[in-house]
Each structure stands twice: as C-alpha cells, then as structure tokens.
Structure 1
Amino acid sequence: MKMKALAITACTVAMSLLIAACGQGGNTGNSGAAGGDTAGAATSKIKLSVWHNFSGDDLRAKAVRAQIDKFKAEHPEVELDAQAIPPDGYRQRLKTVAAADEMPDVFFTQSGTSIKEFYDGGLIQPITSLLDEHPEWKDNFIPGSLDSLSFDGEVYATPLSGSATSFLFYNKSLFEQYNVKVPTTWDELMTAVKTFNDNKITPISLGNKASWLAQSSIISSLADRVTGTDWFKKAVNQDGAKFTDPEFVQALTYFKQLADANAFQTGFNSLDNTQMEQYFIEGKAAMMIDGAWALTNMAASGTEEQLNQVDVTILPSVPGGKGDPNSMSGGSGGGLALSKHVEGDQLKAALELIYTVSGPDAMKAIAGSNSIVTYNVELDQSQVMPLFYKAYNLYKSVKLTPVYDAYLTSSATEAVNNGLQELSMGGNPEDIAKKIQDAQARELGK
C-alpha cells in the first residue's frame, strides 16, 4: 500500500510539473518583448561586441567613449560588450583574433595597410549602404578622406579623425631664453640641439618604448623630405626603387645624427608616448615631434600656463631633398570596421553603432576635443585651445605625405620600428636599410 501511494504521489507531482511547464512554455516567445521574466528578456537581447583603442584620459578618447555610451543608452535592446584596449598592444591583439577568424563584431582599425590586411583576409564587410543611407554625412567628408579605407568601390570604414603625425612642437619660452631660432633647415635644427644640450635642456622629447612613434612621427616625414613621395611609393611596391637606395640610407643617417647628438632624453626607448608628452609640457624639453593626438593629450593634462608656452610648426627642410619641405606625414585616420560574420538584427545594430560613433554629431564632438578630423565641421574657436586652432590651420595648409606604417607591409613596418631603435643605440644605417628592404620584398614575394 505504501508503494502504491508513493507511486500515485510521484505521478501527481510529475503531472503538476508538466502542466506548469506547458503553461510557462506558452509565454516564452513574448516574455522579452512584453517585459516577462528576466531570463527571457536577457536572451532576447541583441549581443554586439566592439573593440577600440580609445582607452586613455585624453579628450578625444573620452569623446569617442561618450558616443559609445550614447549608443548604449539609446539601445537598451542591445547587450554591448565594449572593450577599450591600450594602443600599444591593440594591433597585436587584433592580429591574434584575426588569425583565428574570431574578430569582434565592430572594431577600430587604422587606415592603409592595417585595414587592407583585414580586407585581403576576407574578414570585413563594407558599410557603403550606411553612407548611402545618410548622404548629408557622406558628402561632408573632405575629398579623398575615404580613399585609404575603401577597396574596389566599397567603403569599409570612415575616419574618426585626421592623421597628422609629424608636428614640431616647441617651447617658446625656452627658445627665447636661450636665443635659439625656430629651425627651418637641418643645420638650424642641429644648432638648436647643441645649444639646448649646452644649457642642460633636453632638445627633443621622445618616448619610443612601443617603437612605432619614431617611425610614424619622425622618419615618415623626415625621409619624405629626402626621398620624395614618388620614390617611397615605388619602394613600397618594389617597382623601380629599393630601401637600400642611397637616398633612404641618407634619411636613416639624419635620424642617427639626432641620436648621436643626444637630441633625445636619456632612456627615450623606455618611455611611452604619454610620458614623452608630459616631459615636454612640463618644460623639460625644448621640442617634441609628435602627431595630432598630442594636442588632445596636452589639452587634457597641461595647465593654461604650460599650454601658452607651446607653439607648433613643421619639420625643417634637408639639404638637397627631393621632397616638398612644406609638408607633413598624415592623411585619414582609422575608423570602425565591421566583421564579415555580422548579419540580421545584429547587422542593423552594428551599423547604427558605427553611425553613432562616426556620424556628424560624433565628428563635431571629436573636433571639439581638440582633435583634427577630415570632415567639414563648424569649429567654434572659443571651445578649443589656441594651440589646436593653429595646428588645425597648419594641417590644412600643407601637403600631406605618406605615414610609413599605412603603406608598408607588417613585417617591413616592424623592421623600420625595430631598426630605428637599433639605430638610436649605435646601429648602422646601411644594415637597417637592408633589413627593411628584405622584409618588404619577402612579404611581397619579390
């Protein structure tokens, strides 16, 4: 009897659970939309991931993150996994996930070679339809801005900023105090280096720990002064020019001259970009060769008194140079790219995220953070620091020449980066040039 009663009880409980389960099952399809149970609502959310390298405290990084936060607030139906990764390790992390075909849904990539590698690998999809949907946005980019982010007639990202990598910033007070002329020629630059060294002032602040900065900010512009842009493009394509040619060796020799003359502070290969800028803004160095990102960084960290001491110009000319001396390395900056795997509702959300972070309102906000953009915005002079306003006008008045890592293959870029560090510690220009040449030729199969 006890066994029979137990069996009946078990059966009754089982039937009750089955009925309850069936009753719940009838509502699961609407629970998310109708505000049902929490688990149902969570599973109905669109999951989206975005990676970027705007991780710092500078005003531009804050402006970009604010646009991502804006998207989050306006789209509660999207579960956004946003990762801000420090710039120094960002490209390597992207390469790692790219090798495994596990790209984030949306990710920031530099223009030129970087995005081309993702395109050549079949890892991204175009966003041309988004631009066509917003013609007022598409038509306000400065002509040519989208070229280095486009392939075969399709646009794969829009630039979040303009790339100007070789401004020569200088401390007006130090130049006046030691009666030094702001250099417009190489001889004047070397004279300035000697004078400041004689007076125990670091001539040029440099932070090359991540090794890209000397390449992007110094050699890209300095080498173009020597070789000219046409030569560089031929060398990139390994068609009629090589990095072992005398003119490029001469460009490396100029960089070595700076290092040999103690133009940079002790331990500069152990300092990062932020430390370099802080060293300069505090008046410990007379000059700094840096990109447009320095403007927003200095605006965030410098006092008004410190910023008032800083002025800006371009690198000096070199004797017998084939390049245009009224130029600087730069172009369109990077933008948000879209993984090939994104589709359906996730694709709609991803495109909306890209528009929020890259659209007209975002362009205005980024420009207002003392950042150069390749977009037509009404710049309110009262909302930006005077130094930025001067640099922005300087940027628009000069010819832009290639940034090396936007054109070279990855292995050749690494050879340049490592080679400049080696050169600054006594390396031989001819040896470095051969390593760069071999890396570029090898990766192109030539």
Structure 2
Amino acid sequence: MIMSRKWIQALVFLMILTTVLAGCGGGSTPKENTDNASSGKEQPAEKVKLSLWHNFTGEDLRAKAMRGIIEQFQNDHENIQLEIQAIPPDGYRQRLKTVAAANELPDVFIMHPGTIAKEFSSAGVIQPLDDLLNKHADWKDGYLPNSFDDFTFDGKIYSAPMSLSPTSILYYNKKILADNGLSVPTTWEELLHAVEVLNSKNIIPIALGNKAPWLAQSSILSSLADRVTGTEWFNKAVLQDGAKFTDPEFVEALSYMQELAMVGAFQEGFNAIDTTQMEQLYAQGKAAMMIEGGWAVTNLVASASEDILANTGVAILPSIPNGKGDPNTVSGAIGVGPAMSSKVEGAKKEAAEQLVLALAGPEAQKITLEANQLISFKAELDKSKVNPLFADLYELVNKVGRTPVYDARLTSQATEAVNNGLQELLLGAKPEDVAKKIQDAQEQGLKE
C-alpha cells in the first residue's frame, strides 16, 4: 500500500514536470513554424485578387464553355478572387487599346494575335509566357506547327492560342439553293448568277452585318483580295517593300468587293446591323448564304432550328477569273489567347499563370474542340460530341490552305482605314480613293 502511494505520487510529479517542460519549450515550436513560413514551406496559399477581361459574352457553345472554365477555376482556387469584366466582341479590342495606352491593362485578358499583340509587346505592357510554357512541355509541344507565330515577337512568346479561326467561310442553305435551281457557287460567275436568281425571288442572297466594320474586311476581303493579288503581293504591301495598296491588283480586288454590293448581294442596311442580327437572318431562313468565320458554327448551333442546321453546308469563297492567288484557300489565323499585364508579379503572377494554364492548357483545348470550335492544338475530334455542321467545317478546313487575315497583319492605322473604307466602298466610294487611304495609313503606321 505504501509502495502504491509512492508510485502514484511519483507518477503525478512526473506528469506535472512533463507539463511544465512542455510549457517552457512551447516557445521554440512557433519560432520554427515562423521560420518555415518565411521560407515558404507549408505556407497557406496567399489570398490574391486578379482582374480578368474576356469577350465570351454570347450564348453560343464556345462562350458558354469558356465561362464554364472560368467558373470552375474559381471553384478550384478559393485563394484567388477574380474580378471579371465580360465585354461584347464588337467593342472589345478598342477597350483594350484604350486601357493599354494608359498602361492600365487588366492582370489577365484575352488578346488577339498579330498586330495588337505586337503593339502591346513593343509598348512593354504585357509579359512573355515562355517560362510558363517551358514548365509544361506537353502543353507547349502539343500545338500544331507555327501556332505561336502571331504571338511571338523578338523571340518571346506572349500568349498561347485558344482556338484556330478561319475567317472566311461561306455558309449556304442547301434547300434554298436547290429549290431555286442553284448549287453552291464555286466561281465568281456562278456567285453573280445566284445573286440574280435569289433577288428575283425576294430572297436575301448573302446576309451581311457590318455595323462593327471589321466583318467585311476579315470575313470577305481577306480571302477575296488574296484570290486576286496572291499572298506574296500582300506580304510585300504590308512591309511596303515592292508593293503598295494603290497597286492595280488591289484596286481590282476592291472593285470585286464593291461589285457584290452593286448587284444586290447583301440586304439593305447591311452597315446598320451587327453580326448577331446577320446570323439571325440566316438562321431564320431569310438569307440563302452568309460569309463569316468558323466561329459562326457555335452561334448557329445555339440559335438555328434543326431544319436550318440540317440544310446548312460550308464552303470557301469562289475563285476569281485570272486571279494570282490560290483559290483552294481560306483566310485565317490562330485564335485569341490569354495574356498577362507586365505589372503582374509575385504571388499575383503565380495565380495569373494558373489562370492562363486553365484557359488555354490541354484540358481547355479539349473542352473548346467539343464546343464546336476549331483549335490549333493536337487533339482527336470525337464526332459524336459535336454537331455534324462542325464536323463538316473541321473536314473542310483541313483540306484547304490558309492565307493571312488583313487585320492580323496590317498596322492599327491601316486596319481602321480598311474597315471604314469598306463601309464607304460598299456604298459607292471609288476603289482608288479607298486604296489611297489604306496605303497612306499603312505608310504612317510603319513610321510610328
């Protein structure tokens, strides 16, 4: 009994001693944790805010898919708070140019390839993505050849393409053409004949929505002019090296463009409606054809009836008599991609890189393809997951060559001159006068 009491007392004393020692030594543990925190080991993710601008505002499958990716990113990254601005496509580029001029770009934003990307990189308002791409070799190496060309300047890559954009696809209603004894036009003469026949039946031959004046340039002139001048001439004219936009071949291309308007190929008021209204004219069966980029498929799938979709075919623009360009081509470029402001650094940059990867990485590429949008990333198309019209477009684009899109190569000044000049041209302005304005703008743009 005595031994038992002594044992209990010893045990109690030992417990008290252990508690005291633990209390004395407690100061060393937080110090060790503090050291770890300062060195970045096992440190909780820092809460950061990122501003994001995008132009995926529509109800088409692509826009919905991209918004879904952004929403999933927010759910998966509670430590990253996104401040999002969704801006309609027609006004998006101008908004970006305005904030870029003040060096107030959002942290991450969707950027177009070519001229605008080049201007932003030259101005130092965006930063390269080479380090991020090199960390993910399977992503970087998964792209088709030359996919980064229009985002690469001075040997540095400033964005990763999220899509591939043929800009000049002829969408046609098989039933309307067949009911009027017509087939899809493959020559200029056949196109003019179709316009004449359809007008006689009070059917809009080609729907056009050129309120935001980029469409006539990107979706019609880029392919049409290449049919006339050839790509080599255009490349020289861009550089002002042995060719000018006042050259006879380009004036001729503008004359072909004007002829479409003069023979009534487009509905009245085509400069007063936007691309959405244009697509509605076609989707409602009021127009036999429309000319727009590959992106229109996702819009048609979302808005057109099953009957219209089933009767829609895709083709390239007709050939031009004695043209210098390859008629088996379509104007196109890599699509938009995410870019980072040059001001983003530290923890915010790490978060921004995660967002860029989420928007354009391999998983996003697969989601984009299944949303009926072409991509420049190597991925197998599961036709069971896309609309048959998109499968037709996919097959068409893989059978033809690609020529430049004007606004991806021209200076901003010349692009504006082309866009505004085409609005005037289609209303009757002289082709020579429009060509002179474009030439002057390109000359001036290269000097700045």
Question: Distance in 2 between the 1:386 and 1:425 partners?
Answer: 37
Question: Distance in 2 between the 1:173 and 1:298 partners?
Answer: 17
Residue of structure 2 in register with 1:331 after alignment: 333
Residue of structure 1 in register with 2:312 after alignment: 310
Residue of structure 2 in register with 1:51 after alignment: 53
Residue of structure 1 in register with 2:271 after alignment: 269
Secondary structure of the corresponding residue to residue 339 of structure 2: strand
Residue of structure 2 in register with 1:259 after alignment: 261
One of 330, 341, 344 as aligned partner of 2:343 = 341
One of 77, 84, 91 as aligned partner of 1:75 = 77
Secondary structure of the corresponding residue to residue 92 of structure 1: helix
For residue 324 of structure 1, report the CA deviation from its aligned partner.
0.4
Secondary structure of the corresponding residue to residue 416 of structure 1: helix
Question: Distance in 1 between the 2:72 and 2:145 partners?
Answer: 29
Residue of structure 2 in register with 1:5 after alignment: none
Question: Distance in 2 between the 1:353 and 1:442 partners?
Answer: 37
Residue of structure 1 in register with 2:134 after alignment: 132
Residue of structure 1 in register with 2:18 after alignment: none
- The one-letter amino acid of 1:131's match is L
1:391 aligns with 2:393: yes
Secondary structure of the corresponding residue to residue 312 of structure 1: strand
Secondary structure of the corresponding residue to residue 397 of structure 1: coil
Residue of structure 1 in register with 2:14 after alignment: none
- The one-letter amino acid of 2:410's match is L
For residue 71 of structure 1, report the CA deviation from its aligned partner.
1.1
Mind listing any 5+ residue stretches in structure 2 that lack a counterpart?
Answer: 1-33, 38-43
1:375 aligns with 2:372: no
Residue of structure 1 in register with 2:155 after alignment: 153
One of 134, 144, 147 as aligned partner of 1:142 = 144
For residue 45 of structure 1, report the CA deviation from its aligned partner.
2.2
Secondary structure of the corresponding residue to residue 330 of structure 1: strand
Residue of structure 1 in register with 2:124 after alignment: 122
Question: After superposition, where does 1:36-435 map in structure 2 within 5 Å?
Answer: 45-435=47-437
- The one-letter amino acid of 2:124's match is G
Mind listing any 5+ residue stretches in structure 1 that lack a counterpart?
Answer: 1-29, 34-40
Question: Distance in 2 between the 1:407 and 1:436 partners?
Answer: 13
Secondary structure of the corresponding residue to residue 84 of structure 2: strand
Runs of 4+ off more than 2 Å: none
Secondary structure of the corresponding residue to residue 76 of structure 1: coil
Q: Which has the larger radius of gyration?
A: 2
Task: Indicate conservation of the 8 Å contact 2:46/2:347, yes or no.
Answer: no
Question: Distance in 2 between the 1:397 and 1:375 partners?
Answer: 17
Secondary structure of the corresponding residue to residue 82 of structure 1: strand
Question: Distance in 2 between the 1:153 and 1:46 partners?
Answer: 31
For residue 443 of structure 1, report the CA deviation from its aligned partner.
1.4
Question: Distance in 1 between the 2:275 and 2:174 partners?
Answer: 22
Question: Distance in 1 between the 2:186 and 2:198 partners?
Answer: 17
> Per-residue CA shift, 1:341-389, capped at 9, x if unaligned?
1111100000000001111111011111111111111211011111110
For residue 303 of structure 1, report the CA deviation from its aligned partner.
2.0
Pair 1:376–1:44, CA change in 2 (3 A)? closer
Residue of structure 1 in register with 2:438 after alignment: 436
Question: Distance in 1 between the 2:103 and 2:138 partners?
Answer: 34
Secondary structure of the corresponding residue to residue 398 of structure 2: helix
Kindly report the root-mean-square deviation, in angstroms, between the aligned alpha carbons of the 2 structures.
1.7
Question: Distance in 2 between the 1:427 and 1:369 partners?
Answer: 41
Pair 1:148–1:189, CA change in 2 (3 A)? same
Task: Indicate conservation of the 8 Å contact 2:173/2:308, yes or no.
Answer: no
- How many residue pairs were aligned? 409
Q: TM-score when scaled to structure 2?
A: 0.89
Question: Distance in 1 between the 2:183 and 2:275 partners?
Answer: 26
Secondary structure of the corresponding residue to residue 271 of structure 2: helix
For residue 331 of structure 1, report the CA deviation from its aligned partner.
2.0
Secondary structure of the corresponding residue to residue 269 of structure 1: coil
Q: TM-score when scaled to structure 1?
A: 0.90
Question: Distance in 2 between the 1:412 and 1:79 partners?
Answer: 39
> Per-residue CA shift, 1:6-49, capped at 9, x if unaligned?
xxxxxxxxxxxxxxxxxxxxxxxx9xx9xxxxxxx9x9620111
> Per-residue CA shift, 1:384-411, capped at 9, x if unaligned?
1111101111111111000000000111
